[in-house]
């Protein structure tokens, strides 16, 4: 029996995804659980396995194009099946049916001039009733960019407008898009030279989530400074004999996990129905990639040894930069750490990553002159800012947690116990 392969829901909240590449060709034999294609989400590249064995008879959505979750993308025929079974499988798919059997217009010629002046032989993405065919994702992106769908020409099946068509239109008319999408903003100077770079899916997601967080989550901020001479000395001592070096960030992640375990009332999330207090301490660690910021999660960090935690953080960071994280590796988490100390940043305040209730922003360790009793001494000092969701955590609780975390960093042997 022919098997219709549909676009999987590879990430929570995604209504569509883009096919990065097909790992099998049409006519090639496929075994169940073979890697069939690579799908790019707003966070990572996910490999999708075949759901059946047989022959990959037809690819319905080529590489580089997007499809809605649940939409047909390929057909696999079982052994002994042929064209009759393929046609039967395709019969229920409007976009795969012959042009004569549908009211949609045939696939358009690729458009190269500006959107407002399409090629004469290109075909609008609508049928005789005037309906515009576009994926939900393309409609949302066009609305955000202030683009009129009726001016676009789709490259999807039978002229369907897809994400890439909207992004291409943005690149072709950057000045118009900027003015329409954000009329309240100051216009770009007419004589200004600039290059419009279409937003990646990850960058759009970051913008949307952080805007929602800053707009809807009541943030408050607590700052503290830690003396980390003992922490740096412990790290140096560990790295003299350890087969795998640990970083200052590894020690900070472990100290956060230990402190959250000691004060579980900080390991929470707000919902309209209840305050969720998590049983496990899952730490999200912010990692910068070429596509944007992503926060892979160190699961059960409180129960890990320092060496195991260090290895886990390193592997997750490498997979994040390579775009190979699986959804379960970056979804969830109960607390986030964002460390910009390696860039020389002294201090900063980070935006909470919903549905979490707190994020710790860590600056650089610097040599400063401080008072020690009646004497002035030089010490290694580290600045940090705790951003907190006031709906879930009160100021006094957050202050006690930050004080305890500071004590843990300043007496770091406790994190090894």
Tell which residue, 163, 115, 158, 130, has the closest CA to residue 7: 163
Residue 332: strand, helix, or coil = coil
Question: At 120, phi and psi to the nearest 5?
Answer: -65, -30
Angle made by CA atoms 378, 384, 385, in degrees to the nearest 5: 150
Task: Report the C-alpha gap between 350 and 288 in whole angstroms.
Answer: 14
The verdict on whether 390 is a catalytic residue reads: yes
Pairing of strands 287-289, 219-227: unpaired
The structure tokens 């953080």 sit at: 313
Going from the C-alpha of 212 to that of each of 21, 205, 216, 248, 284, the distances in angstroms are 32, 11, 6, 31, 19
List strands edge to edge, sheet with 45-49. Answer: 45-49, 35-40, 16-22, 66-68
User: DSSP string covering 32-98, please?
Assistant: TT-EEEEEE-SS-EEEEE-SS-EEEEEESS-TT-EEETT-EEEEEEPTT--HHHHHHHHHT-GGGS-
Do 296 and 316 form a contact (C-beta atoms < 8 A)?
yes
Do 158 and 99 form a contact (C-beta atoms < 8 A)?
yes
The DSSP element (H or E) to which 239 belongs, if any, is helix 229-241
Pairing of strands 358-372, 335-339: parallel
Q: For 245, how many CA atoms within 13 A lie in the half-sphere containing its CB?
A: 6
Tokens standing for residue 319: 């997979």
Task: Report the C-alpha gap between 202 and 44 in whole angstroms.
Answer: 8
CA 204 to chain centre: 9
The structure tokens 């049916």 sit at: 97
User: DSSP string covering 113-175, please?
Assistant: S-TTS--TT---SB-TT-PBPB-HHHHHHHHHHT--GGG----SGGG-B-HHHHHHHHHHSHH
Residue 100 is classified by DSSP as G
**Which residues belong to the active site?**
390
């Amino acid at each position: 029996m022919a098997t219709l392969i549909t676009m999987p829901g590879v990430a929570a909240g995604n209504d569509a995804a883009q096919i990065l590449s097909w790992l099998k060709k049409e006519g090639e034999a496929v075994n169940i659980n073979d890697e069939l294609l690579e799908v790019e989400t707003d966070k990572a590249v996910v490999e999708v396995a075949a759901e059946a064995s047989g022959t990959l008879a037809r690819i319905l959505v080529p590489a580089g194009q997007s499809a809605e979750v649940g939409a047909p993308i390929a057909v696999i025929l079982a052994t002994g099946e042929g064209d009759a079974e393929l046609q039967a499988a395709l019969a229920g798919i409007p976009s795969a049916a012959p042009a004569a059997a549908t009211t949609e217009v045939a696939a358009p010629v690729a458009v190269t001039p500006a959107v407002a002046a399409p090629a004469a032989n290109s075909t609008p993405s609508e049928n005789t009733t005037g309906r515009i065919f576009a994926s939900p994702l393309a409609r949302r992106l066009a609305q955000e960019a202030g683009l009129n769908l009726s001016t676009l020409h789709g490259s999807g099946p039978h002229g369907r407008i897809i994400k890439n068509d909207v992004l291409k239109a943005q690149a072709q008319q950057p000045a118009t898009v900027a003015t329409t999408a954000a009329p309240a903003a100051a216009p770009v100077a007419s004589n200004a030279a600039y290059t419009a770079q279409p937003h990646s899916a990850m960058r759009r997601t970051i913008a949307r989530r952080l805007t929602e967080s800053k707009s809807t989550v009541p943030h408050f901020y607590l700052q503290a400074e830690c003396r980390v001479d003992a922490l740096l000395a412990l790290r140096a001592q560990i790295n003299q004999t350890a087969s795998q070096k640990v970083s200052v960030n590894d020690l900070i992640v472990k100290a956060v996990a230990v402190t959250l375990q000691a004060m579980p009332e900080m390991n929470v999330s707000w919902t309209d129905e209840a305050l969720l207090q998590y049983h496990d301490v899952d730490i999200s660690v912010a990692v910068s990639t070429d596509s944007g910021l992503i926060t892979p999660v160190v699961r059960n960090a409180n129960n890990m040894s320092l060496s195991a935690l260090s290895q886990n953080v390193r592997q997750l960071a490498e997979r994040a930069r390579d775009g190979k994280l699986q959804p379960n590796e970056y979804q969830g988490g109960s607390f986030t750490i964002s460390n910009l100390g390696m860039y020389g940043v002294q201090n900063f305040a980070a935006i909470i990553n919903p549905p979490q209730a707190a994020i710790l922003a860590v600056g650089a360790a610097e040599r400063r002159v401080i008072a020690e009793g009646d004497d002035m001494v030089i010490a290694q000092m580290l600045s940090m800012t705790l951003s907190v969701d006031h709906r879930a955590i009160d100021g006094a609780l957050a202050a006690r947690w930050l004080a305890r975390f500071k004590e843990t960093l300043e007496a770091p042997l406790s994190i090894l116990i």
